[in-house]
Amino acid sequence: MTPELAKTLSHGMRRIRTVEETIAARYSEQEMRCPTHLSSGQEAVPAAISAVLRPTDLAVSGHRAHAHYLAKGGSLKAMIAEIYGRVTGCARGKGGSMHLIDEAVGFMGSTAIVGGTVPVGVGLGYSLMLKGTDDIACIFLGDAVVETGAFYESLNFAILKNLPVLFICENNFYSVYSPLSVRQSHIKAIHEKVAGFGITTQDGDGNDAASAHEIITKTVADIRAGKGPAFLEFSTFRFREHCGPNYDDDLGYRPDQFIEGWNAREPIRQFETRAIEDGFLTLAGIDQMQEEIENEVKAAFDFARASDFPPAGEASQHIFANQMKGSWK
């Protein structure tokens, strides 16, 4: 750990948290009219990734993608505008919260169908292999994704071709209201099952930004060095309901003990307490950082709400492209 890294991780987590909690606070205004899956509680892994990846690395994600998009450097203003359905949104209002894109920083897209971007991420890895750079493709996935056929088919191909692909599984133990126990055998943990394919795997504490950063740093270096794909499983905990701005623990689908245990390991406080003790962060420094973040987030919401809606004619546009974009050489 260094003071710079501590600041980067703390800032990354606080920025995601502040964005998500601001969305939650304003959602009931009924201006963000799309299903929205928040990442509150799951900030540590994205913040750690953010500190390791570079803009030329590529990333894809799924329905809960805000944190991943922001971690990759995606434009905050364009994301908030997208959730508000405005023409300045990253997808011009076509896609909403689940369909984020910012190719300028390598965030190649998130989509709403569980597992839908896993093969896409492997294909991006294939393109990087063909180009011969040492960039990597990062695939963000939830614990339900490892139940899809496409995941295993993609994994097989990534290993077969020794592709520069990093699979990051954020295991929050639930898919909507369904616990892992009704979806997957408990005989082996997710990373153990995946290891059976012959890929490098490791598990880590997804609420510990410092250790996640260490694991990711080493893993990414190995992938860049040509050692092939890797799969990381980080356990973590989502604060709010699966989709939407509220808490839903009154429904009783997550045991009290589980909730209490995870709340005690809230990632930002946990990280900062230690970093302050170790002299890497100061309370004053954190306060200043938080103020800057809040100003940035406020500016993004102001931008989104001041932006125009897309003109009605755009509803029927973008069916076919009439121009080739992004072609190699």
Ligand X SMILES: Cc1ncc(C[n+]2csc(CCOP(=O)(O)OP(=O)(O)O)c2C)c(N)n1
**Neighbour-count burial for 80-98, b at 16+ CB within 10 Å, e otherwise:** bbbbbbbebbbbbbbbbbb
Note whether 204 binds ligand X by CB under 6 A.
Answer: no
Residue type, position 288, single letter = Q
Distance CA 63, CA 42 (A): 14
89 belongs to the binding site for another protein (CB under 8 A): yes
Only segment of 15-23, 45-53, 142-150, 202-210 that touches another protein (CB under 8 A): 142-150
CB under 5 A: which stretch of 45-53, 59-67, 127-135, 142-150 binds Mg ion? 142-150
Which residue's beta carbon is nearest to the bound Mg ion? 142
111 binds, among ligand X, Mg ion, another protein, none (CB under 5 to 8 A by kind): another protein
Neighbours of 17 (CB within 10 A): 24
Are 110 and 134 in contact by the 8 Å Cβ rule? The answer is no
Which span sits near Mg ion by CB under 5 A: 166-174, 200-208, 229-237, 290-298? 166-174
Residues with Cβ within 8 Å of 120's Cβ and at least 6 positions away in sequence, in order, are 60, 108, 109
Residue 120: Cβ within 10 Å count: 18
64 binds, among another protein, Mg ion, ligand X, none (CB under 5 to 8 A by kind): ligand X
Q: Is 139 in the site for ligand X (CB under 6 A)?
A: no
33 binding partner (options ligand X, Mg ion, another protein, none; Cβ < 5 to 8 Å by kind): another protein
Output the six-digit token pair for 27. 């959602």
- Closest to ligand X by CB, 107 or 303: 107
- Binding ligand X (rule: CB under 6 A), the pick from 69, 140, 167, 174 is 174
Among 99, 87, 75, which Cα is nearest to 296's? 75
Q: Is 306 exposed, middle or buried (0-12, 13-18, 19+ CB in 10 A)?
A: exposed
* Residue in 145, 163, 194, 199 binding ligand X, rule: CB under 6 A: 145
Q: Binding residues for another protein, per CB under 8 A?
A: 33-36, 85-86, 89, 91, 93-99, 111-116, 144-145, 147-149, 175-178, 182-184, 243-244, 251-253, 309-310, 312, 314-316, 319
